[in-house]
């Protein structure tokens, strides 16, 4: 039996419970978690913005050590450090065949399966495939990626979502070029990763926007050259910081209609807006036909940073080893399993960066 944070129903409080995991069968891997990040997507699962079968063990951003493997698993072995991949690609569906593995049609099929049982026999699902809010987990082999050499195991948890998403949003989705200006909306874990990635890409001006004045130091440490406290004049403020034109690129990490609209308005004529934040289906963004023609801007969604984890992790690891990317700078709080509800409250209130559950 191991301890885990279980979501019994939408809107219900998380319960810390003892759960029983099965032994890894064919193509399965058992992992002892070192740490798990508390991501806004976990909050979205708990409040019903995103739907998964319940009850479930939440947590999708994690890293740990392989305990045992089932038959057929050859790419990792007991004792190996691994990063959990919550959206594994099947390699054979049309998006995968086209090289768009982040859009894999089978990526989340594992969320509907039996993951574990509580002491009274209640069946549990893995929230987003991996059930990382637990001392140990059992996952499909394609949900574990070997940890690159030289990366600290605890902070490596952030590679599983925040860093891959933030890095990919800059380098794959928005394709930021050296010398461009970038504005980042939302200075949470993903936003901080976007800021660092924009700096790595060589952006000349990097503006961070958040509702909280207290996050300015965090944003500047991550690479922001300017900081704007969100208000009704945000788009105008950003134009003032970019020679009156607007930013070349905006990256929205909040997932709200008003923020998406403001991000789009903050870019220059022909600018590019990438939406990373996950909003509810009631969040509707409106445009008129004339402004779409006149401004010539683009607005694009972004799933998991449009990343291929197997290819991108080694590249990101190189940036970490060479000191260009600071994993620890994303972490503003280290907690236990029982601290997750408070971390959710902090996210709702716009406080802090990434909370990290350390086992």
CATH of the domain at 133: 3.90.180.10
| pLDDT at position 102 | 96
Backbone dihedral angles phi then psi of residue 326, each to the nearest 5 degrees: -105, 100
The CA distances from residue 89 to 32, 110, 111, 156, in Å, are 23, 12, 14, 21
Q: What average pLDDT is seen over the chain?
A: 96
Do 147 and 236 share a structural domain?
A: no
DSSP string computed for 96-115: HHTT-GGG-TTTTGGGGS--
For the residues 147-164, what does the mean pLDDT come to? 96
- Please check whether residue 321 lies inside any domain of the structure: no
The residue whose two tokens read 């069946």 is 123
Q: How many CA atoms lie within 13 A of 261 on its CB side?
A: 12
Q: Are residues 179 and 252 in the same domain?
A: yes
pLDDT of 85 > 90? The answer is yes
Q: How far apart are CA 341 and CA 347, in angstroms?
A: 10
For residue 16, is it within any domain? yes
Same domain, 24 and 143: yes
Number of domains in the chain: 2
**Whole-angstrom Cα distance, residue 2 to residue 22?**
11
Helix, strand, coil share (%) of the chain residues, nearest 5: 35, 25, 40
Q: Is residue 231 part of a domain?
A: yes
Q: How confident is the model at residue 351 (pLDDT cuts 50, 70, 90)?
A: confident
Q: Report the distance separating Cα 100 and Cα 234, nearest Å.
A: 34
In angstroms, rounded to a whole number, what is the distance separating the alpha carbons of residues 242 and 267?
9
d(CA 257, CA 186): 13
- Give the pLDDT mean for 26-51: 93
Q: Could you give the residue ranges of the DSSP H alpha helices within 58-168?
A: 94-97, 162-168
Residue numbers of the domain that contains 251? 166-303
Q: In CATH, what number is assigned to the domain containing residue 194?
A: 3.40.50.720
DSSP E strands in 61-203: the ranges are 61-69, 81-84, 116-118, 123-126, 136-140, 144-146, 181-185
* CA distances to 210, 213, 235, 236, 251 from 232, in Å: 12, 15, 8, 9, 18
Same domain for 145 and 16 = yes
Determine, yes or no, domain membership for 313.
no
What is the reported pLDDT for 349? Answer: 85
pTM reported for the whole predicted model = 0.95
Looking at the fold, whether 295 and 242 belong to one and the same domain comes out as yes
Residue 105 lies inside a defined structural domain of this protein: yes
* pLDDT score for 280: 87
pLDDT band at 39 (very low <50, low <70, confident <90, very high): very high
- 40/146 same-domain check: yes
| Confidence (pLDDT) at 112 | 85
Torsion of CA 90, 93, 94, 95, to 10 degrees: -30
Q: Is residue 316 part of a domain?
A: no
Helix (H, G, I), strand (E, B) or coil at 192: helix
Confidence of residue 50 (pLDDT cuts 50, 70, 90): confident
Q: Does any domain span residue 311?
A: no
- Enter the tokens of residue 181: 């200006």
pLDDT digits (tens, 9 = 90+) for 102-147: 999 999 988 888 999 999 999 999 989 999 999 999 999 999 999 9
336 and 211 belong to one structural domain: no
Q: Is there a domain that residue 319 lies in? A: no
- Phi then psi dihedrals of residue 228, to 5 deg: -125, 125
Tokens of 222: 């991550």
My answer on whether 126 and 199 are in the same domain is: no
Based on the domain organization, do 200 and 272 belong to the same domain? yes
CB 310 within 8 A of CB 164: no
Q: Which two tokens stand for residue 153?
A: 């195991």
> Both 16 and 153 in a single domain?
yes
- 125 and 101 within one domain: yes
Cα–Cα distance, 142 to 183 (Å, whole number): 34
In a shared domain, residues 89 and 171: no
């Amino acid at each position: 039996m191991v301890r885990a944070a279980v979501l019994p129903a939408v809107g219900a409080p998380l319960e810390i419970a003892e759960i029983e995991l099965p032994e890894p069968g064919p193509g399965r891997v058992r992992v002892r978690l070192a740490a798990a990040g508390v991501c806004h997507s976990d909050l979205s699962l708990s409040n019903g913005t995103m739907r998964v079968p319940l009850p479930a063990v939440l947590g999708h951003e994690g890293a740990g050590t392989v305990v045992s493997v089932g038959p057929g698993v050859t790419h990792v072995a007991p004792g190996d450090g691994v990063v959990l991949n919550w959206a594994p690609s099947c390699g054979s569906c049309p998006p995968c065949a086209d090289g768009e593995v982040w859009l894999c049609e089978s990526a989340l099929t594992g969320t509907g399966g039996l993951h574990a049982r509580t002491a009274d026999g209640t069946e549990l699902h893995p929230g987003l495939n991996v059930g990382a809010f637990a001392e140990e987990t059992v996952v499909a082999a394609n949900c574990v990626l070997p940890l690159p050499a030289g990366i600290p195991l605890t902070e490596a948890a952030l590679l599983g979502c925040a860093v891959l998403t933030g890095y990919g949003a800059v380098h794959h989705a928005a394709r930021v070029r050296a010398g461009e200006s970038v504005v980042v909306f939302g200075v949470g874990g993903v936003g901080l990763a976007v800021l660092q990635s924009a700096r790595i890409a060589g952006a000349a001006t990097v503006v961070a926007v958040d509702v909280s004045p207290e996050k300015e130091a965090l944003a500047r440490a991550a690479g922001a050259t300017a900081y704007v406290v969100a208000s009704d004049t945000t788009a105008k403020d950003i134009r003032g910081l970019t020679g009156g034109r607007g930013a070349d690129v905006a990256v929205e990490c909040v997932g709200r209609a008003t923020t998406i609209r403001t991000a789009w308005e903050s870019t220059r004529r022909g600018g590019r807006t990438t939406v990373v934040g996950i909003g509810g289906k009631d969040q509707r963004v409106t445009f008129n036909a004339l402004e779409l023609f006149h401004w010539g801007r683009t607005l694009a969604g972004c799933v998991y940073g449009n990343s291929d984890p197997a290819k991108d992790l080694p590249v990101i690891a190189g940036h970490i080893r060479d000191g260009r990317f600071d994993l620890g700078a994303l972490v503003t709080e280290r907690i236990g399993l029982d601290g997750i509800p408070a971390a959710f409250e902090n996210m709702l209130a716009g406080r802090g960066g990434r909370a990290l559950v350390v086992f």
